[in-house]
Amino acid sequence: MEANFTDWLAIVERKARYCRCLDTKDWDGYTDCFTQDVVFDSQQGASPIVGRTKAMEMVIGAVGKCVTTHQVHNPEIQFADDGKSADVIWAMQDRVRSDEARRLRMGNAGHTGYGHYHEKYVKCEDGEWRIAALRLSYLQMDFHEAARF
């Protein structure tokens, strides 16, 4: 399909809100970035989570008390022929400064990670584009010692 600026921008701004809401812990705003039946695959080695409620519980449990900064760069967007869904790849970088519980669990003070989001967006009935599938693949994880902070 011919790329359309309005749909392109809606997808890009959706991902901007995904990052901002995750990092400012605006969980209502973050939840609204996903479809109810989202397939969420962010933990390498674990099975994907199906359903928004379970996915949100996992995310909030994992990093809800950590300082996080997520950045995404240069999207590649492939719209479906009917214009109602799109496959998107984002380059990403995340910085996590762990809280005490996560430090003990992970054995480090946090990380800087580099990789890609592989996502599917769908245009919902209210006209909003939301994430229906997300998979995160890391190229590199640099783990940080406590002394770094």
Footprint of another protein on this chain (CB under 8 A)?
5-6, 9, 12-13, 15-17, 19-20, 23-24, 67-69, 71-73, 95, 97, 147-149
> Smallest distance from the beta carbon of 68 to another protein, in angstroms?
8
Instruction: Kindly list the distances between the CA atom of residue 38 and the CA atoms of 16, 18, 55, 59, 119, in Å, as whole numbers in the listed order.
Output: 18, 14, 8, 13, 10
> Smallest distance from the beta carbon of 71 to another protein, in angstroms?
5
CA distance 143 to 97: 10
> Smallest distance from the beta carbon of 149 to another protein, in angstroms?
7
Cβ closest to another protein, residue 106 vs residue 146: 146
